[in-house]
Chains A and B, each alone.
Chain A
Amino acid sequence: GAVVSQHPSWVICKSGTSVKIECRSLDFQATTMFWYRQFPKQSLMLMATSNEGSKATYEQGVEKDKFLINHASLTLSTLTVTSAHPEDSSFYICSARVVVPPGGDGYTFGSGTRLTVV
């Protein structure tokens, strides 16, 4: 089945540094990928939609200069948290739309990245 590989699984960084999270579609091409953020015991909130070869579309309230998204190829999207602060600590998950038999569609998710900023 369609697999999205997300790395790293967890990262601890110092306040003020930047962290890059990668999301790869392993056996399919993903023109569009989605980036979500999940706070403890909360739902997933869509941050942005990443489009291959063009600029990402950010949801209202998400700072595009803070969360840089690059979708340089059909199999790779990256999210860079710039100048990270403790309030950026969260669980970040990427997702791609896939065809789900029989004839429907769904979204497959990466395993997530636990970011802790100290």
Chain B
Amino acid sequence: EAQVTQNPRYLITVTGKKLTVTCSQNMNHEYMSWYRQDPGLGLRQIYYSMNVEVTDKGDVPEGYKVSRKEKRNFPLILESPSPNQTSLYFCASSLNPYNEQFFGPGTRLTVL
């Protein structure tokens, strides 16, 4: 089954404790992206990747890191999480930015 998986689905952590949210797709897609969704602000792009080893900033990259060492995986790293990073995070993939995007189920992160 074609899908985008994210782990964990829910995470409660404390300020400053490094964490990684994994994202994996099995559709051989070139383009992958991370978004955060906040009430009243909607979805905002954090980082995107056009291919292996090619990443670029979206609208709100501060406080986040990504890597794309393999085509299928695109982890999101919060090296020192802060409460303002409490949000709902989505990973997505597609053939390219102008094709249908496939979204993961979301990760609800709470930083205390």
Q: Are A and B bound to each other?
A: no
Residues in B lying within 8 Å of A, measured CB to CB: none
Residues in A lying within 8 Å of B, measured CB to CB: none
